[in-house]
Structure 1
């Protein structure tokens, strides 16, 4: 078993599916750089322009939970081809958008393609790769997808300033053609097709639950936690999630089989991924905002400042996966979690003394820690599940990543906003820059606490079955 060779066609199939995820992340992170330009061009507010991201996340969060049903009902190759075609249509609409509604429609169509394709990569790996080699293959796939947020802001900044924001999308079209051809030639069906009955009630409850939760947390970062819209959205989402869970436990063929939570190491790994994504996406929002406000650099420079850390993290992902395969999860994940705690702890201690070089260095340390936690945690969690639960486990992990990212971003945004609002307080004697440093300190402290919790939990991990 340990001498099993992985076919080249299998690797190409996995990379092809990863490319679509890569392009979804690149288009999202690159477009963020263009927001100020888009606001002026389309004459919309920052709250309105944010729907290009919020709407995208909502659609992905809605589609990922139904992915187990799609995988069981339709051939894998057809799902992949549909995802690429849908994403391509959305990309073309975005590239030729002449109004904000047109651009938003294109982004939502892109999100449909991403929502379908996102779980496919993991399902392919779990179905085709032996357990003792999954770590390194997940690392290779992680290299493709992890590099996207590394180059997204830099790519966006260069394209926007040189040839226009539309090219953010148009440049992706040749890559989409390559992914479509490569995937069509190599991807095979990975499960027996089952024409199971579609439970529309479960789908409806899933939409209510995850759209309510994602939107509520996204809105909280702008308006504060006690805004009526935030509390209403989160309340509706929580009720929807409770009803969805009850429904899954009662029906014979659930949309997502919650039996995966009977496996303690899966649940622990899921929690590790959840905490990690809060840190990663929270910092992805915090560091550029902090840099632009305190250091006075523009978005492109901020992107270049963070590029080395993200790039090295992506390159370390296969190495972390190989260590997981050979030594088990505890050593590699606890080491990575320790680096996360050190990096965030140093940011807390030296917030007021941070410089572009020091912040870039600490972000590099942080992202090295991310490399040794993300892929091993995800892989070890999925390794605990019987094959019949693969699509369910993948759907849950990917859905929780969307939720945790929204939570991390909203918490950081809320802390920054709370400090910035003191500028109108008559008792305040701090400048706007000093208030940003205060908000950044509080946000770094939150990230440090989350990192310490993850480090403690890592000692409960056990070797793969």
Structure 2
């Protein structure tokens, strides 16, 4: 678990760490804002394309083969990015890094659900939840510190020792825990999956630059949706599908997927909108912004295993429902923020928000997969991980577009105060987040501990 979790942390750290350096990198490599944004878009796009096929790969290859492939891809990508002489090399490094993470995340969950019995999975998934929150949350803070003291290359060099440590631990201790079967990978399914999930992620990712009415955006999303429909139809007709969507026959799994989508939609967009609000409306420096968000992230890391233990002891509803209420309460306070909000209010509200997300995130994933028969675990993991990446890409695109729209409207009709405009736009976006958070509160009331599930 240490080998897998360390590599996962580095991958998720890298997902957000570079965001703070994008403007600098655009100047260094002399590329436009639209082009440099591909360092983030390409990462999401690679995850959206590769994660859907990991379910069948985990049945075809051993745990060690998957792990070694994952860690080597990440190491190659990290070194390539660190020594990049041009923007193309840097982008290629990011894609290699994302490919490694796309294998690591589903593999880690699959190992947890294979080696831990149901009554101990909550604690194990709590630790994974710690990694999934700490990586993206600490990325901007540590990257900001690096940029203040060293050059941008060190954002990648600092990752390398941890990746090598993960590789050494994995080669020494990681056994083969999955059952390997002779399965063939259907090429047409992979193509449809790539076009489908890739098209949707790409369409939403570039919407901020191109606009929602752009033919590129609308065309990508429409083609993506059609490809996913064809993909699903093909999977239902196959004896051994690439992604077994028959998992949706289980009601608790469907409920968990909806809650995961909302959680990741809100969480990843919030991690983008909140720093923008602080930097534009409150005029706080990037590194200081990271420090303000640090207490909530660290407290969540400390409490994640405890929350997982409470899930194992008291069941899903006792943990998930209070968590959704905390998230909704956090959004309610966020929505009242203005251009003169005290910093201590931001710190306290972020702590409340992160505690709520910590209670919801890993516990929902655990209960969602527990509701499936064990034969469906690889497929269930691939489905939930794909949904999470799509939710993140969609959430960031939609919320940033809403923020920009309200800001522009304010500047055009009310006044020329950019701080007030950013505060007004952020408040509106947080109200939208509150609506989704309230939906999750209602959905959590239907969450229950699944009985032992047999294959239907």
Looking at structure 2, the residues matched to 453 and 110 of structure 1 have their Cα atoms a distance apart, in angstroms, of: 34
Alignment match, 1:313 = 300
Looking at structure 2, the residues matched to 157 and 424 of structure 1 have their Cα atoms a distance apart, in angstroms, of: 30
Alignment match, 2:445 = 459
Looking at structure 1, the residues matched to 237 and 450 of structure 2 have their Cα atoms a distance apart, in angstroms, of: 30
Alignment match, 2:251 = 264
Native 8 Å contact 1:15 1:144 kept in 2? no
Looking at structure 1, the residues matched to 320 and 348 of structure 2 have their Cα atoms a distance apart, in angstroms, of: 21
Looking at structure 1, the residues matched to 298 and 36 of structure 2 have their Cα atoms a distance apart, in angstroms, of: 28
- What per-residue deviation string (whole Å, max 9, x for no partner) do you get for residues 198-224 of structure 1? 200000000001111101111223333
2:310 equivalent among 311, 323, 337? 323
Looking at structure 1, the residues matched to 301 and 246 of structure 2 have their Cα atoms a distance apart, in angstroms, of: 32
The offset of 1:113, in angstroms, is 1.0
- What per-residue deviation string (whole Å, max 9, x for no partner) do you get for residues 89-147 of structure 1? 11100010121111001111111111111111000000110000000011122223321
Instruction: Please give the secondary structure, in 2, of the residue aligned with 1:349.
Output: coil
Alignment match, 1:249 = 236
- What per-residue deviation string (whole Å, max 9, x for no partner) do you get for residues 369-419 of structure 1? 011111110001111111110000100111011011011111110111102
Native 8 Å contact 2:129 2:358 kept in 1? no
- What per-residue deviation string (whole Å, max 9, x for no partner) do you get for residues 296-336 of structure 1? 11211111111111111222221111111111111211100
Alignment match, 2:260 = 273
Alignment match, 1:214 = 201
Looking at structure 1, the residues matched to 349 and 34 of structure 2 have their Cα atoms a distance apart, in angstroms, of: 31
Instruction: Please give the secondary structure, in 2, of the residue aligned with 1:44.
Output: coil
Native 8 Å contact 1:18 1:145 kept in 2? no
Native 8 Å contact 2:14 2:136 kept in 1? no
Alignment match, 2:319 = 332
Counterparts of 1:370-385 in structure 2, within 5 Å, are 370-385=357-372
Alignment match, 1:177 = 164
Report the count of equivalent residues.
451
Instruction: Please give the secondary structure, in 1, of the residue aligned with 2:281.
Output: helix
Looking at structure 1, the residues matched to 273 and 121 of structure 2 have their Cα atoms a distance apart, in angstroms, of: 33
The alignment status of 1:189 with 2:176, answered yes or no, reads yes
Looking at structure 2, the residues matched to 49 and 341 of structure 1 have their Cα atoms a distance apart, in angstroms, of: 34
2:101 equivalent among 114, 117, 120? 114
Q: Which runs of 5+ in 1 are unaligned?
A: 1-13
Looking at structure 1, the residues matched to 311 and 119 of structure 2 have their Cα atoms a distance apart, in angstroms, of: 9
The offset of 1:430, in angstroms, is 4.6
Alignment match, 1:442 = 428
Worse-matched range after superposition: 257-266 or 187-196 = 187-196
Alignment match, 2:454 = none
- What per-residue deviation string (whole Å, max 9, x for no partner) do you get for residues 158-202 of structure 1? 111211110111111111111011112222222332221220000
Instruction: Please give the secondary structure, in 1, of the residue aligned with 2:206.
Output: helix
The alignment status of 1:431 with 2:417, answered yes or no, reads yes
Q: What TM-score does the superposition give when structure 1 sets the normalisation length?
A: 0.94
Instruction: Please give the secondary structure, in 2, of the residue aligned with 1:439.
Output: helix
Looking at structure 2, the residues matched to 422 and 45 of structure 1 have their Cα atoms a distance apart, in angstroms, of: 26
Alignment match, 1:11 = none
Looking at structure 1, the residues matched to 275 and 431 of structure 2 have their Cα atoms a distance apart, in angstroms, of: 17
Alignment match, 1:228 = 215
Worse-matched range after superposition: 175-184 or 352-361 = 352-361
Looking at structure 1, the residues matched to 231 and 165 of structure 2 have their Cα atoms a distance apart, in angstroms, of: 39
Native 8 Å contact 1:266 1:384 kept in 2? yes
The offset of 1:352, in angstroms, is 5.0
Q: What TM-score does the superposition give when structure 2 sets the normalisation length?
A: 0.96
Looking at structure 1, the residues matched to 439 and 137 of structure 2 have their Cα atoms a distance apart, in angstroms, of: 26
Q: Which runs of 5+ in 2 are unaligned?
A: 452-456
Looking at structure 1, the residues matched to 386 and 166 of structure 2 have their Cα atoms a distance apart, in angstroms, of: 24
Native 8 Å contact 1:291 1:356 kept in 2? no
Native 8 Å contact 1:61 1:399 kept in 2? yes
Looking at structure 2, the residues matched to 216 and 209 of structure 1 have their Cα atoms a distance apart, in angstroms, of: 11
Looking at structure 2, the residues matched to 395 and 304 of structure 1 have their Cα atoms a distance apart, in angstroms, of: 34
Native 8 Å contact 2:295 2:351 kept in 1? yes
Alignment match, 2:64 = 77
- What per-residue deviation string (whole Å, max 9, x for no partner) do you get for residues 221-265 of structure 1? 333322222111110110011011101001111001111111111
Looking at structure 1, the residues matched to 54 and 354 of structure 2 have their Cα atoms a distance apart, in angstroms, of: 29
Looking at structure 2, the residues matched to 102 and 149 of structure 1 have their Cα atoms a distance apart, in angstroms, of: 23
Alignment match, 1:88 = 75
Alignment match, 1:238 = 225
Alignment match, 1:147 = 134
The offset of 1:357, in angstroms, is 2.0
- Cα root mean square deviation, aligned: 1.3
1:45 equivalent among 10, 32, 46? 32
Looking at structure 1, the residues matched to 339 and 331 of structure 2 have their Cα atoms a distance apart, in angstroms, of: 14
Alignment match, 1:4 = none
Native 8 Å contact 2:282 2:419 kept in 1? no
Looking at structure 2, the residues matched to 29 and 423 of structure 1 have their Cα atoms a distance apart, in angstroms, of: 29
Alignment match, 2:116 = 129
